[in-house]
Amino acid sequence: MARDPRFDPLFEPLQIGPVTAPNRFYQVPHCTGMGYQRPRMLAALRGLKAEGGWGVVCTEYCSIDNSSDETPYPSASLRDDDDVRNLRLMTDAVHAQGALAGVELWYGGHTSSNLLSREPQFDVGSLAVEAELSPPAQSVAMDKSDIEALREMYRRAARRALEAGFDIVYVYACHYYLLHNFLLPEFNQRSDEYGGSVENRVRLLREVIEDVGEIIAGRAALAVRYAAPLPSEDDDPQELVAAFRLLADIPDLWDIASSDYNYEMGSSRYVKEAELQQAVARLKALTTKPVVSVGRFTSPDTMLKQITAGTQDFVGAARPSIADPFLPRKIDEGRLEDIRECIGCNVCYAYDMLGAPLRCTQNPTMGEEWRRGWHPEKIDARHADESVLVVGAGPAGLEAATALGRRGYDVILAEAGEEPGGRINNESRLPGLAEYARVRDWRLGQLARMANVQIYPANRLDADAVIELDSRHVILATGARWRTDGTGRHTTNAFRGCENEQVISLDALFSGDSPHGRVIVYDDDHYYLGTAVALMLSRQGARVTLATPEFRVGSWTRYTNEYSLTSKALADAGIEIVTGQRLVAFEPGRSFFEPVDAGPGVELEADFVVPVGAREPEGELWRTLQARRDEFEAREGLSIRRIGDCHAPGIIAAAVHAGHRAARELGQSETSVKRDRVVV
């Protein structure tokens, strides 16, 4: 198929200083959790983005010196010649596809851990180190010799960037790292020529830009990543705009981000597509140089609008390029319905925050390009003309059926419920989670075009039915039930009174039970569900208390960048929060808690309790089939496998990955992991 000509503006080349981008699709710097530690994994990932049509593909933030690190988060690195060789792998992979490679030169500051280097952080002043994992420490207020040393680090790194083959070299001046902090009056209290007036505060950034510019002149483009002030921010917008004016036409490209990560990297619960664009337009109007920015663009029309309306010159993307590395190609080939849209869950970001390679809820191949050799658009043909029965059409079953269908197997997908979707059907109805439905809908869209896959909703299969269907392979994806006994990550014992009928399971809630009056949501799961359910019940008119044995509500959501805006939403809804308390008993009217640490327990009024904790794998079918294994034994080659929540309850991304993996591994004698580290 050919591309719709109205999207032509997205495919026009554009010059950036001395280099030319082949189109307007620009993968901005984004973390991978791979960085300097996993150069081959990283090169495979970035090369794949270029293959998918991204005209510019950048590294993540790239440390310029061994005095700056964010351990345990592995940044990229250009600290020495070994790093040059490592990053060459990436630039070669990107260039092989005709794209430009960009590197984001970074120096940390008081927000960085330096746990690897053991060096004190340098910054604009003696500031308390904010890195969560750092012991109490303060940065060194840079003197003139430190400033000169920093400038030299940038110069050296710029030379290495050229050696490594980069076409675009960034100076990174946002997200509260060192160069950003010099711009901000709240941090910059200096009385020398680097502090005070805006001209002085911008001096260091200007010097670094000029230093790097001199070195790369004529060979690579110079980009600056800068924070656009948002109306919601505490930073004085005028300050950042005034500083921008002073530099507006110096670099070859502006990459406009935001210093409020809650918005730039906002979860879809609170932040929708193109959220930054007003703020971007304000800075774009002040420069003649090309501008790139992000907005979790998943709609080709919204992307097009950014270019035709002149809000920005490149469609910047991190998450949309993770969920679908082939997004540009699909637009180019007129295959819009094949675009796998990001759901804005931020699981990708969470894993980097945990110091682990990224993964994606929508795209199970992300991060597995080198390790397992997975390609999002290519999959081996079926190993034999055989049939597969997939039982359960939640995320795991849907993904398994989709990937098996692509391989060419005859697939039956049986689902007990009226509609395929499993947990997605329930969770996407919770406040803010509508985009989660894309996990189901993209797969159903793909399956609808596969003649070899039949979906049978409203078909609960038992062991007899499975055996009768006589498929060569059976994949069980039957999910899990929410437990009602309050057990979870902290709570190992059931609470007294958990069998009471005013204890409502999440499954019952999703099926229509609506507790009212005083409702305790007891969250021992710590991800998004507890808070989302509390918000839903509050909207339905219940007086909700969200209680948790953790010391923050939805504590894991700080990795997915949902935490702050969730706290605000809970406060706005008037939901009472009780932390550090374990549920021990319930009787209609009252619930009793004991402290996780020391101190008094609490007693709360409660008409209903909704526990959000552990789940019970739906394992009956698996167990029965195992017990009747001899009935299968006669059938040579038959395989039975269980995947997703019925095997090990987890997050949606894990279920999708399990489904994909089962499909890839069918007919293979070995696990699909080929390599997971570089061995010297």
In the complex, the smallest distance separating the C-beta of residue 420 from ligand ADP, rounded to whole angstroms, is 7
Which residue number, 342 or 521, has a Cβ lying nearer to ligand SF4? 342
Which residue number, 124 or 654, has a Cβ lying nearer to ligand SF4? 654
User: Which range touches ligand ADP (CB under 6 A), out of 77-85, 131-139, 386-394, 547-555?
Assistant: 386-394
DSSP string, 505-516: -HHHHHTT----
Q: What does 362 bind: ligand ADP, ligand SF4, none (CB cut-off 5 to 8 Å by kind)?
A: ligand SF4
What's at 238, amino acid-wise?
A: Q
Candidate list 366, 618, 661, 666; residue touching ligand ADP; CB under 6 A: 618
Indicate whether 455 belongs to the interface with ligand SF4 (CB under 6 A): no
Site track for ligand SF4 across 356-395, x = CB under 6 A: ----xxx---------------------------------
DSSP string, 593-619: EEESSSS--EEEEESEEEEE--EEE--
Tokens read off for 666: 């069918």
Q: Are 293 and 271 in contact (CB under 8 A)?
A: no
Mention every residue, 6+ apart, whose C-beta is less than 8 A from residue 522. 486, 530, 547, 548, 583, 609, 610, 611, 612, 613
Q: Are 581 and 493 in contact (CB under 8 A)?
A: no
Which residue number, 476 or 578, has a Cβ lying nearer to ligand ADP? 476
- Tallying the residues shown for the chain, one arrives at 680
Indicate whether 439 belongs to the interface with ligand ADP (CB under 6 A): no
Smallest CA-to-CA distance from 634 within 475, 476, 472 is with 472
Q: What does 655 bind: ligand ADP, ligand SF4, none (CB cut-off 5 to 8 Å by kind)?
A: ligand ADP
CA distance 341 to 329: 14
Candidate list 415, 435, 525, 562; residue touching ligand ADP; CB under 6 A: 415
- CA distances to 391, 423, 446, 560, 623 from 319, rounded to whole Å, are 31, 23, 21, 13, 39
In the complex, the smallest distance separating the C-beta of residue 160 from ligand ADP, rounded to whole angstroms, is 45
Is residue 176 flagged as an active site residue? no
What's at 330, amino acid-wise?
A: K
In the complex, the smallest distance separating the C-beta of residue 460 from ligand ADP, rounded to whole angstroms, is 4
Indicate whether 395 belongs to the interface with ligand ADP (CB under 6 A): yes
For 336, the 3-state DSSP assignment is helix
Rounded to the nearest 10°, the torsion over CA 558, 564, 569, 574 is 100
Number of shown-chain residues binding ligand SF4 (CB under 6 A): 13
Q: N- to C-terminal Cα distance for the chain?
A: 46
72 cis-preceded (ω within 30 degrees of 0): yes
Q: What does 394 bind: ligand ADP, ligand SF4, none (CB cut-off 5 to 8 Å by kind)?
A: ligand ADP
Indicate whether 391 belongs to the interface with ligand ADP (CB under 6 A): yes
Residue in 36, 61, 170, 177 annotated catalytic: 177
In the complex, the smallest distance separating the C-beta of residue 318 from ligand SF4, rounded to whole angstroms, is 8
In the complex, the smallest distance separating the C-beta of residue 652 from ligand ADP, rounded to whole angstroms, is 6
Q: What does 342 bind: ligand ADP, ligand SF4, none (CB cut-off 5 to 8 Å by kind)?
A: ligand SF4
Candidate list 53, 109, 213, 394; residue touching ligand ADP; CB under 6 A: 394
CA distance 161 to 155: 10
Q: Are 484 and 502 in contact (CB under 8 A)?
A: no
CA distance 438 to 502: 33
Residues 477-506 that bind ligand ADP (CB under 6 A): 477-480
Indicate whether 424 belongs to the interface with ligand SF4 (CB under 6 A): no
Residue 597, classified by CB atoms within 10 Å of its CB into exposed (0-12), middle (13-18) or buried (19+), is: exposed
Tokens read off for 338: 């094949």
Indicate whether 428 belongs to the interface with ligand SF4 (CB under 6 A): no
What's at 418, amino acid-wise?
A: E
Which residue number, 346 or 487, has a Cβ lying nearer to ligand SF4? 346
| Rg from Cα positions in the chain | 27
Q: What does 345 bind: ligand SF4, ligand ADP, none (CB cut-off 5 to 8 Å by kind)?
A: ligand SF4
Which residue number, 416 or 584, has a Cβ lying nearer to ligand ADP? 416
Which residue number, 25 or 244, has a Cβ lying nearer to ligand SF4? 25
DSSP string, 417-458: SSSTTTHHHHHTTSTT-GGGHHHHHHHHHHHTT-TTEEEE-S
Q: What does 354 bind: ligand ADP, ligand SF4, none (CB cut-off 5 to 8 Å by kind)?
A: none
Residues 261-320 that bind ligand SF4 (CB under 6 A): 319
Q: What does 392 bind: ligand SF4, ligand ADP, none (CB cut-off 5 to 8 Å by kind)?
A: ligand ADP
For 222, the 3-state DSSP assignment is strand
Which residue number, 332 or 415, has a Cβ lying nearer to ligand ADP? 415
CA distance 281 to 306: 10
User: Which range touches ligand ADP (CB under 6 A), out of 43-51, 394-402, 528-536, 554-562?
Assistant: 394-402
Indicate whether 392 belongs to the interface with ligand ADP (CB under 6 A): yes
CA distance 294 to 319: 9
Residues 462-481 that bind ligand ADP (CB under 6 A): 477-480
Candidate list 396, 534, 575, 612; residue touching ligand ADP; CB under 6 A: 396
Which residue number, 518 or 647, has a Cβ lying nearer to ligand ADP? 647
In the complex, the smallest distance separating the C-beta of residue 367 from ligand SF4, rounded to whole angstroms, is 10
Q: What does 383 bind: ligand SF4, ligand ADP, none (CB cut-off 5 to 8 Å by kind)?
A: none
DSSP string, 238-298: HHHHHHHHHHTTSSSEEEEEES-HHHHT--TTT--TTTTHHHHHHHHTT-SS-EEE-----
In the complex, the smallest distance separating the C-beta of residue 462 from ligand ADP, rounded to whole angstroms, is 7
Give, to the nearest 10 degrees, the angle between helix 81-95 and helix 39-51. 20
Candidate list 164, 291, 389, 655; residue touching ligand ADP; CB under 6 A: 655
In the complex, the smallest distance separating the C-beta of residue 297 from ligand SF4, rounded to whole angstroms, is 12
Helix (H), strand (E) at residue 401: helix 395-407
Candidate list 644, 657, 661, 664; residue touching ligand ADP; CB under 6 A: 644
Indicate whether 364 belongs to the interface with ligand ADP (CB under 6 A): no
Residues 321-360 that bind ligand SF4 (CB under 6 A): 322-323, 342-348, 360
Smallest CA-to-CA distance from 291 within 258, 246, 254, 257 is with 254
In the complex, the smallest distance separating the C-beta of residue 544 from ligand ADP, rounded to whole angstroms, is 25
In the complex, the smallest distance separating the C-beta of residue 361 from ligand SF4, rounded to whole angstroms, is 4
Q: Which residues bind ligand ADP (CB under 6 A)?
A: 391-397, 414-417, 422-423, 460-461, 477-480, 618, 621, 644-646, 655
Q: Which residues bind ligand SF4 (CB under 6 A)?
A: 319, 322-323, 342-348, 360-362
Active site residue ranges: 177
